[in-house]
Chains A and B, each alone.
Chain A
Amino acid sequence: MSESLPQRLDRWIARAGFNLLIPPLILLIPWMQELVDQLIFGGNWNLPMTPGGSFLGVVTAPFSHSGFGHLLANSLTFLPLSWLVLLRGRRDYLAVWLGVYATAIPVWLLWPNGSHGLSGVVYGLLGYLLLIGWIEKRPLSLVLSVLALVTYAGVLPSLLPIFSPPGVSWIGHLSGFGGGLLAALAVARETP
């Protein structure tokens, strides 16, 4: 028996409510890490991706930050972009994370400097949002792409070394952005 409209609406609201919680729950990890880092290790506990270092660094780098300012800035961008991607579903959100991790591997293997922070994932979410509307040309994906472009286009110059200030890992941003593009290509649905 097919569901009635109110039942489908209830199910959608329940799913949306759970999706709303996912990004803050993820953010608990770097906030707890930073709290322990500052309170116990005096800011010396960092888990970056380092050249020639452990693969564990690739996994932990997004959850390690240079201080509360760095983490707060990334968190405030991570939350809205995550929610926008989650409007499309958890599969797409997971695809962005996997894409960002996949493109971080060549950076870890080949780039001479270590780096850490959540902004690679932030750029991945942005890359996904910008491309998905272009590929699918469906109403929701087009709205997401336009919204992302209008609100976050200002951070795109940081993808290029000439506009990226020294000390900021433009390659980390660029690889994250590329991961998001790959995710969009992987999960895009055929237009009926």
Chain B
Amino acid sequence: MIEMKHAKSYFLISAKQDDRHDSLAVENLAMLRCSFKHQP
């Protein structure tokens, strides 16, 4: 799950402004590495 630190509302929130894309990439890479490496 990715934090939306500045999200004060629900529905229309800019993910680009809220999320740190480097962190997002880290989570994506960790998940993808596991998925591709060890796909049962």
CB of A50 within 8 A of CB of B3, answer no
Chain B residues near A120 (CB, 8 Å)?
A: 1
Q: Residues of B within 8 Å of A, CB-based: how many?
A: 36
Give, as a whole number of angstroms, the nearest-CB distance from A56 to chain B.
7
CB of B24 within 8 A of CB of A115, answer no
Chain A residues near B28 (CB, 8 Å)?
A: 69-70, 72-73
Tell me the bound Cα distance from A44 to B4 in angstroms: 12
CB of A50 within 8 A of CB of B12, answer no
CB of A84 within 8 A of CB of B40, answer yes
- The stretch of A1-9, A14-22, A134-142, A148-156 in contact with B is A148-156
The 29 listed contacts between A and B (C-beta, < 8 Å) are: A43-B15, A44-B12, A45-B12, A48-B4, A50-B4, A50-B10, A54-B10, A70-B2, A73-B28, A73-B35, A76-B36, A77-B31, A80-B40, A115-B4, A119-B1, A119-B31, A147-B40, A150-B38, A152-B38, A154-B33, A154-B34, A155-B30, A158-B27, A165-B22, A166-B20, A168-B27, A169-B1, A172-B1, A173-B1
Binding site for A on B (CB under 8 A): 1-5, 7-16, 18-20, 22-36, 38-40
Binding site for B on A (CB under 8 A): 41, 43-48, 50, 53-54, 56-57, 61, 65-67, 69-70, 72-74, 76-77, 80, 84, 113-117, 119-120, 122, 147, 150-152, 154-155, 158, 165-169, 172-173, 176
